[in-house]
Amino acid sequence: MDEVKAILFDTFGSLVDWRSSVIAELAAWGQARGLERDWTGFADAWRGAYKPSMDRVRTGEQGWTILDDLHRQSLQTLLDAHGITGLDAAELEHLTRIWHRLRPWPDSVAGLTRLKRRFIIAPLSNGNLALLVNLSKFAGLPFDTVFGSDMPRRYKPDPEVYLGACAILGLRPGQVMMAAAHNYDLAAARALGLKTGFFVRPTEYGPGQTKDIKAESNWDIIAQDVEDLARQLGV
């Protein structure tokens, strides 16, 4: 581990609790408008559209589209399905940008603050840079810089995302650790030579979560959370 200079973090789910944040924002908005809906189901369906929407871009079915715009498209579909109409542009933007206002998990800020002392820390996320900058400010994530998907114009797990970040940091893949609560992300990073750090987020998808409830490989570090990752890295 001594050669690691930078740690790149998955963000949605790994550092911020998107689910409870999106549910709370939708519920508050619905209450203000006098709308009663299943906001938990709405939030889960919105996140459910995430991977398919990126896959359309990854396969070339849809041209390059930033995540904010994918979120807006899937939101519009869900609003229609829930019979919610007549939103003006500002309101639609306010809802789309719920993803800029997600709360951190309790250990994220403290763990990143410790890691920042010794390592370069940055998100390596499918979010676009503006989303990630706003989210980092909102949640208080003390990143040194930000890697969004709109510089490579690629979504994870495409190799260019991981290798592009290493190259621009002037580091070999072995000097960079990918840290995430998602096994697929670490598998993609390891295949390219990056170090890997796993921590579990057992309620990311709510109670009864079945995915990513444990490390599915012998990742270089397997931690309880970001503070434990810092502890295991000796900071």
Q: Is 199 in the site for a copy of itself (CB under 8 A)?
A: no
Task: Return the amino acid letter for 52.
Answer: P
**Which residues are CB-neighbours of 116 under 8 A, at least 6 positions away?**
142, 144
Q: Judged by CB under 8 A, how many residues of this single chain contact a copy of itself? A: 21
* Axis crossing angle, helix 50-58 with helix 39-48, rounded to the nearest 10: 20
State which residue, 23 or 132, has the beta carbon closest to a copy of itself. 132
Residue 225, interface with a copy of itself (CB under 8 A)? no
110-139 positions binding a copy of itself, by CB under 8 A = 120, 128-130, 132-134, 136-137
Least CB distance to a copy of itself at residue 91 (A): 18
Using the rule CB under 8 A, is 170 a contact of a copy of itself? Answer: yes
List 31, 77, 145, 224, residue binding a copy of itself (CB under 8 A): 145
Query: Binding residue for a copy of itself (CB under 8 A) from 92, 169, 213, 235?
Result: 169
Using CA atoms, how far residue 166 sits from 9, 126, 172, in Å, is 13, 16, 6
Q: Distances from the Cα of 189 to the Cαs of 16, 59, 179, 210, in angstroms? A: 21, 20, 9, 22
Query: What sections of 59-178 are H helices per DSSP?
Result: 67-81, 89-96, 108-118, 129-139, 159-168
Asked if 143 touches a copy of itself (CB under 8 A), the answer is: yes
Q: Which of residues 48-77 bind a copy of itself (CB under 8 A)?
A: 68
Under the binding rule (CB under 8 A), the answer on residue 215 touching a copy of itself is no
Least separation in angstroms between residue 128's CB and a copy of itself is 7
Kindly give the pairing relationship between strand 120-123 and strand 6-9.
parallel
Please give the DSSP secondary-structure letter assigned to residue 128. -
- Which of 7, 15, 98, 146 is in the footprint of a copy of itself by CB under 8 A? 146
Shortest distance (Å) from residue 57 CB to a copy of itself: 17
Q: Are 140 and 78 in contact (CB under 8 A)?
A: no
| Residues of this chain that bind a copy of itself (CB under 8 A) | 68, 120, 128-130, 132-134, 136-137, 143-146, 148, 150-151, 168-171
